Amino acid sequence: MKVSNDIVMLAGRVLLAALFILAGLNKALGAEGTIGFIESKGLPLPQVIYVLTVALELGGGILLLVGFQARLVGLAFAVFCVMTALIFHPGLSDPSFLKNLALAGGFLYVFAFGAGAYSIDGRRGAPAVAAA
């Protein structure tokens, strides 16, 4: 059963990472639109928020993909997804609100259980499950 769990963990990481790597690339190629959207929400320092967002989506996505520091990256993405839902997609009428909350739930699983054996963390002997 252990091998199949590790394969499922790898598949989950790849699917989550792909979404954010592609989103980060799209934001990197369309700075004006993304910065404008951030400004429209009245947030301070929209250019800084833009750079941090692209860095998290691209950098964090790649780290998640290879499974390096996956638990920390999972926690960062969970917080990011909840903040994104509340700030940019508030309310149950926006389908992105629930999507972002669901993604946060998935990232909390990564935080709790780690990257699995098929990862850099797994090769380094990082704990697979959080200590109670």
Does some domain include residue 131?
A: no
Number of domains into which the chain is organized? 1
Distance of CA 65 to the CA centre of its chain: 10
The Cα angle at residue 46 between residues 105 and 58, in degrees rounded to 5: 50
Residue 86 lies in domain: 2-124
**CA gap 11, 19 in Å, rounded:** 13
pLDDT tens digits, one per residue of 62-117:
999 999 999 999 999 999 999 999 999 998 899 999 999 999 999 999 999 999 99
Q: Is 121 exposed, middle or buried (0-12, 13-18, 19+ CB in 10 A)?
A: buried
* Res. 34 pLDDT band, cuts 50 70 90: very high
Does some domain include residue 43?
A: yes
Cα→Cα distances 89→10, 85, 96, 98, 101, Å: 29, 5, 6, 9, 11
pTM of structure: 0.89
**CA gap 56, 19 in Å, rounded:** 12
* pLDDT score for 4: 86
Q: Which residues contact 20 (CB under 8 A, 6 or more apart)?
A: 56, 57, 58, 60, 61, 64, 77
